[in-house]
Chains A and B, each alone.
Chain A
Amino acid sequence: MGDYISSKERRAIIKHNRREISRLEAELREVGTNAAVMRDPANIVEFDGLKTYFYTETGVVKAVDGASFDVPKGGTVGVVGESGCGKSVMSLSLMRLLQRPHGQITGGAIRLDAPSGTIDVAKTGNGGMGGIRGGVVSMIFQEPMTSLNPVLRIGDQLDEVVALHAPQLIGRGIIKGGGRDDVRRRTIESLEAVSITSPDRVYRMYPHELSGGMRQRVVISMAVACSPQLIIADEPTTALDVTIQAQILDLLRGIKDSYVGTGIMLITHDLGVVAEMADSVVVMYAGRVVERGTARDIYKSPAHPYTVGLMRSKPQPGRKERRLYSIPGRVPNPVSMPDYCYFKDRCEYAGEACSLYPDEFAIGNGHMVSCWRKGDI
């Protein structure tokens, strides 16, 4: 839709983008330290003012624009928001899986408490991420069919992960002779851990032979195979039916209990799933965190008008209303974000103060809100 851009303007944008991208890439290549110190040692990861921008031909898309929150060790944090709010980009930034060179972390820090020492992922190049991905942080994606390789057997795909990330098991990640049996044993164990009834049979199967729920179990077993410190679950149940969703959520809860200290970052748009799983909740809107707190804070006393609107637009069981509430207007254009509060144009509480983007205010123990009304709604 967007506004019309002349080819001259487009050329100027592309030129500007190229300069910015090469500056950012050069900064990353510069040999510097990526060591960091955690603000709170009880956290596994701390996002601190993260900015992730995409340099497109129509302008800079500020997908994440100064987002901060923590994931504590052993805790489950639910990140909610509608499509395009930047919740998936947060997780891709943490894994450094952004589409390069267009996607770049331009500011802020992602401090990760890895066993080899605390690092700032925002300053770590691709080479430094090998041991982190899968070993320290692993990911479960929405669509299990596209995250499994269709031409490899389940067992081969899992063996590869185990062999690569558990070198203590077979030494230097090369599967040889006796090592192969150890890897296979470990793979079968991890399939059993996700309640797959006949792991030996599934080991020899191809992804297309499994149902959606079974495939998601395989993906989860791949994610937990190396006992990671943090699991990012990006819409893990969106493609599944409710009864299968209940099974998978139950499984994730079980994993949290059996791998003590593993944090889960659950990214979803489903407020029900978050309420059931998460200890604390982060609400994102247009690339920024608008509210965060414990699940109880967010669901029982939401303080940001957007959170309130989101809750009200979901039909409440047992309470029949004539009309569903719907937030008026639409999300601002990501290429030209306004310089005032991003939610002002859709907010029924908007006032004078809203012409500046609000700071984050603490309105309770750990309950933070980015709104000038500080929960007075």
Chain B
Amino acid sequence: MAGATDGNEKYLVKVDGLKVHYPITAGLTRKVTAHVKAVDGVSFRIKRGTTMALVGESGCGKSTTGRSILRLTPKTAGEVEVCGTDIYAIGRSELRTLRPKAQIIFQDPYSSLSPRLPVGEIIGEAVREHGIVPKEGYEDHLNEVMEACGLRTFHKRRYPHEFSGGQRQRVCIARAIALNPEFIVCDEPVSALDVSVQAQIINLLMDLRDRNSLTYLFISHDLSIVEHISDTVAVMYLGGIVEYAETDEIFRNPIHPYTKALFSANPLPDPDIKADRIILTGQIPSPINPPPGCKFHTRCPYAEDRCSREVPEYKEEAPGHFAACLKA
């Protein structure tokens, strides 16, 4: 590992041209007939201590991006650097030392906790395994983490089925936080929860971020939460980032037609705003056979002839505001 220079690095996560293709096989010989291009050339940087949100519809590759950054899913091409380390260039033992630094929180708190382990063991197992704290400090560390996540210390002996959805998500967060990570991928951490519980979990994530100066990659499709929690936003469509900017900028001046449509489709809790909604027609095309040219041209209300031929370049339209649209 790079060691001393780590702390001064401006960017904690650097991703360049990341591609993740899943092969589709057929027949007895398992011949590869096609590829699902789940992530097809994604590049971004996340500054230390900030939160980047990745938004898009289901199947656009946002979860796959999150997983492949942590090497939970093998990449096909591209460079991924997390905490100053090229995560795909290192061996197993080095990867093991990196694991506690980069954690993930999953969407569904019902399926991401082992039903056979008590909560104390779920949170503490990796702490012992990685030797995060000396043996005599283990119980204290566990208690501290659980309290920070809004759990009571006597919950340690309970099993996941005894908890509500919000409490379980707190356990998932505690499990990640217990390893003193620098970077956490939050993969739709609140979409399975009720509105009032969502607010509690979002507050918890923000408190922990400020207290432990964490860096988040926040994957979500709920735009009002994204606006609340993130510093920068990247919008994905069909395996590629179509627009990237700071949160205020992208919500005030969206450039890409897809971003505009996505933002206008978000229903607001105000009966007086029945805005001039842009309703996209049709479905998301298949990532096995994405449309040529601009991938969005099949649904874009402003598409021209050239959009189906030329691939738009992902370029800076305004300072710090990137978009991939021929008509920008």
Min CB gap A216→B, angstroms: 12
Q: Does B133 contact A (CB under 8 A)?
A: no
Whether B199 contacts A325 by the Cβ 8 Å rule is yes
Whether A275 contacts B203 by the Cβ 8 Å rule is no
Interface size for B (C-beta < 8 A) is 41
Considering only residues 203-245 of chain B, those with a C-beta below 8 Å from chain A are 203, 206, 221, 223-225, 227-228
Whether B266 contacts A309 by the Cβ 8 Å rule is no
The residues of A that contact B269 with a CB separation of less than 8 Å are 271-272, 274-275, 299, 311, 314, 316
Least CB separation from B281: chain A residue: A247
Min CB gap A273→B, angstroms: 5
* Bound form: Cα–Cα A309–B221 in Å: 23
Whether B261 contacts A243 by the Cβ 8 Å rule is yes
Q: Does B76 contact A (CB under 8 A)?
A: no
Q: Does B164 contact A (CB under 8 A)?
A: yes
Whether A309 contacts B227 by the Cβ 8 Å rule is no
Least CB separation from B55: chain A residue: A242
Whether B196 contacts A309 by the Cβ 8 Å rule is yes
Considering only residues 71-118 of chain A, those with a C-beta below 8 Å from chain B are 82-83
B73-116 to A contact mask, C-beta < 8 Å, 1/0: 00000000000000000000000000000000000000000000
B260-300 to A contact mask, C-beta < 8 Å, 1/0: 01101111111111100101110110000000000000000
The 8 Å CB contact of A242, one of B163, B227, B251, B266, is B266
The 8 Å CB contact of B196, one of A213, A278, A315, A327, is A327
Q: Does A176 contact B (CB under 8 A)?
A: no
The 8 Å CB contact of A324, one of B57, B164, B228, B271, is B228
The 8 Å CB contact of B262, one of A243, A315, A318, is A243
The 8 Å CB contact of A246, one of B162, B279, B284, is B279
The residues of B that contact A250 with a CB separation of less than 8 Å are 277, 279
Whether A316 contacts B195 by the Cβ 8 Å rule is no
Whether B228 contacts A273 by the Cβ 8 Å rule is no
Least CB separation from A237: chain B residue: B267
Min CB gap B50→A, angstroms: 15
Q: How many A-B residue pairs have CB under 8 A?
A: 115
Least CB separation from B163: chain A residue: A1
Q: Does A270 contact B (CB under 8 A)?
A: yes
* Bound form: Cα–Cα A245–B197 in Å: 23
* Bound form: Cα–Cα A249–B196 in Å: 24
The residues of B that contact A300 with a CB separation of less than 8 Å are 271
Considering only residues 169-219 of chain B, those with a C-beta below 8 Å from chain A are 194-200, 202-203, 206
The residues of B that contact A271 with a CB separation of less than 8 Å are 195, 269
Q: Does B25 contact A (CB under 8 A)?
A: no
The 8 Å CB contact of B265, one of A246, A299, A321, is A246
Least CB separation from B210: chain A residue: A322
The residues of B that contact A1 with a CB separation of less than 8 Å are 162-163
* Bound form: Cα–Cα A149–B218 in Å: 36
Whether B268 contacts A272 by the Cβ 8 Å rule is yes
* Bound form: Cα–Cα A241–B224 in Å: 14
The residues of A that contact B274 with a CB separation of less than 8 Å are 276
Whether A275 contacts B271 by the Cβ 8 Å rule is yes
Whether B199 contacts A82 by the Cβ 8 Å rule is no
Q: Does B58 contact A (CB under 8 A)?
A: yes
- Contacts A276-B274, A324-B202, A326-B196; is A315 near B267 (CB within 8 Å)? no
Residue from A242, A247, A269 having most chain B Cβ neighbours under 10 A: A242
The residues of B that contact A175 with a CB separation of less than 8 Å are none
The residues of A that contact B195 with a CB separation of less than 8 Å are 82, 269, 271, 310, 313-314
Least CB separation from A82: chain B residue: B194
The residues of B that contact A325 with a CB separation of less than 8 Å are 199
The residues of B that contact A249 with a CB separation of less than 8 Å are 267
Whether B261 contacts A323 by the Cβ 8 Å rule is no
- Contacts A324-B199, A327-B196; is A245 near B224 (CB within 8 Å)? no
Q: Which residues of A contact B (CB under 8 A)?
A: 1, 82-83, 211, 213-214, 241-247, 249-250, 269-276, 278, 295-296, 299-300, 309-311, 313-318, 320-321, 323-327, 330
- 18 more contacts with CB within 8 A, not counting A275-B273, A295-B271, are A82-B194, A211-B284, A244-B57, A246-B265, A246-B267, A246-B280, A249-B267, A270-B267, A271-B269, A272-B269, A275-B269, A276-B271, A310-B196, A316-B269, A317-B223, A324-B199, A326-B196, A326-B197
Task: Show 24 residue pairs from A and B whose CB-CB distance is below 8 angstroms, ordered by the A residue.
Answer: A1-B162, A82-B194, A82-B195, A82-B197, A83-B194, A211-B284, A242-B221, A242-B265, A245-B267, A246-B279, A247-B279, A269-B195, A299-B270, A299-B271, A300-B271, A310-B196, A313-B198, A314-B195, A314-B269, A315-B202, A315-B228, A325-B199, A326-B196, A326-B199
